[in-house]
Structure 1
Amino acid sequence: MHIPVRIVLVAPTHPGNIGATARAMKTMGLTDLALVAPQRFPSDEARARASGADDVLENATVTQTLPEAIRDRGYVVGASARLRSSKWPVVNPRTCAESIRRRLPDDRVAIVMGPEHSGLSNEDLGRCQELVHIPTDPAFGSLNLAMAVQVLCYELRMCLEGSSVATEEARGAPLASAAELEGFHEHLERVLAAAGFLHPVHQKQLKLKLRRLFHRARPDQNEINILRGIVAALDPARYSDERGPA
């Protein structure tokens, strides 16, 4: 059984972890690996740790930024070992797998893993619709990157194996991709800044809250186009251009 979910590793520092991740993926039926700014890749160490999953490494996509790696994805899950203080939607791996099952095959899905020592930044989390946390013993919660990937891939396989994929209620248009959402957020933030709504001191947190709001809404491509049209109509620069020089 092949599971069409992309695993994205952001700034992996150890090539061995990349190879072990490829092995963990292939044992569970996943083959779509994306690497964001890896320190060392390709690498003989990665190939050795892959233990036969060389095809996953050879077909891996390498990008310099996270938006590039997820631009065609409609649903993005961020994995984190740390529970953030902000009110981010957080689920365990089993619930996450069920959430992904409901979205396949209609939506393209990615699971994003952060750097080994720091995890995903708040900026990266802002590009995710959901956050998955693997519960561990509080006294020793250290999970290797490939171990975490293995847990998530295993839960996906157990959720999908032997059952037909039940999708959510059909929509009139495909969900907006990560690239389309990012374009909307950048457009909205520019207009809000021009209107004086975004205060320089508090804008970072407000931007994250706005992203969470629209992630919960899960807009499709038609809805994103409507939102872009609304934002364009409210752009202060538009009225300045219409008035012309004083």
Structure 2
Amino acid sequence: MHKPALPQEGNDTFQDQIRIVLVETSHSGNIGAVARAMKNMGLGNLWLVNPTSFPDETSYARSSGASDVLDNAQVVSSLDEAITDCVLVMGTSARGRKVPWPVIAPPDAARKASEHAPAGPVALVFGRENHGLSNEELQRCHFHIHIPSNPDYSSLNLAMAVQVVCYELRMNYLRGLEGGEGSPYLKAMTAPGDAGWDVPPAPVNDVEGFFSHLEQVLVDIDFHRRENPRQLMTRLRRLFQRARLDQMEINILRGILTAVQKSSTGKAPTGNASEADEAATGQE
């Protein structure tokens, strides 16, 4: 028994129109791995041209929950059957040709697929594991897709090649969501103030209070001399400003400084320092 299918992300016209075509795949496990790669990127339209063995348990085992992609796969006897209704056909190729053919990289292939998908199916064709697509098959393609891998070790596993192309399709699709503003999945979250960060950024006044507190603690423990400051506080300021601290982080740091003061002097600080200590304890 093969694994049940995991839920699909959802149907979309663009995703439905993108057709991944595998030609004469010899190892059924690779078909399952391709199905997994496709579903990872939200695609599910798989066509198989004269596979050596399909369906079988090996292909379903390698799909790791993408069994619905395999269940819905179209099996045909020739490449012509797989692409006859397509408005654009692009085939992967790692070899140069005596007669030059239009060659594009995966990101450009994804953009062209997006441009043509509203008019009809777009086929992305991948060849046999051992020698790819034949010259005749490549001549049925409008463009050849070249993945710029390491020239000293350029051979890609079939599923790897499909994953690279499907990733670019996914990225192009996400960029076009939400009225051209792009998907939230593509927006970086690296600092306070970014969408999704859990705590607001610390205001300037609080940051300056931290720097004053830090300097006082460094003086208390004889690490810093105000009369001979050199560049210590400047460099520490640069370090913490680079971190772009949020409010909770400021409170935690103030709490640490307070603990250092208690340990070194035996006295609890008063005023803003003790208030920050309490805030840090409460937020944690």
TM bracket, shorter-chain basis: 0.5 to 0.7
Matches of 2:77 and 2:120, distance apart in 1 = 24
Matches of 1:79 and 1:165, distance apart in 2 = 31
Between the aligned residues of both structures, percent identity stands at 52
Matches of 2:125 and 2:178, distance apart in 1 = 22
For the aligned residues, what is the CA RMSD? 1.6
Matches of 2:57 and 2:168, distance apart in 1 = 30
CA contact (8 A) 1:16 1:45 kept: yes
2:22 is aligned to: 9
Q: Secondary structure at the match of 1:138?
A: coil
Q: Please report the TM-score for the alignment, with normalisation by the length of structure 1.
A: 0.65
Matches of 2:64 and 2:112, distance apart in 1 = 31
Aligned match of 1:18 in 25, 28, 31?
31
Q: Please report the TM-score for the alignment, with normalisation by the length of structure 2.
A: 0.56
Q: What is the correspondence of 1:100-139 to structure 2 with a 5 Å cutoff? A: 100-139=113-152
Q: What is the correspondence of 1:1-246 to structure 2 with a 5 Å cutoff? A: 2=12, 3-4=15-16, 5-163=18-176
Larger relative contact order (Cα-Cα within 8 Å, sequence gap ≥ 6):
1
The residue type paired with residue 27 of structure 1 is N
1:103: Cα distance to partner? 1.4
CA contact (8 A) 2:36 2:66 kept: yes
1:107: Cα distance to partner? 2.6
Give the number of equivalent residue pairs. 166
Deviations 1:108-145 (A, max 9, x none): 10100011111111111121111101001111112100
Matches of 2:178 and 2:141, distance apart in 1 = 22
Matches of 1:24 and 1:128, distance apart in 2 = 23
Change (3 A) 1:63 1:157: same
1:164: Cα distance to partner? 5.0
Unaligned runs of 5+ in 2: 1-9, 180-284
The residue type paired with residue 15 of structure 1 is S
Q: Secondary structure at the match of 1:86?
A: coil
Matches of 1:104 and 1:62, distance apart in 2 = 22
Q: Secondary structure at the match of 2:118?
A: coil
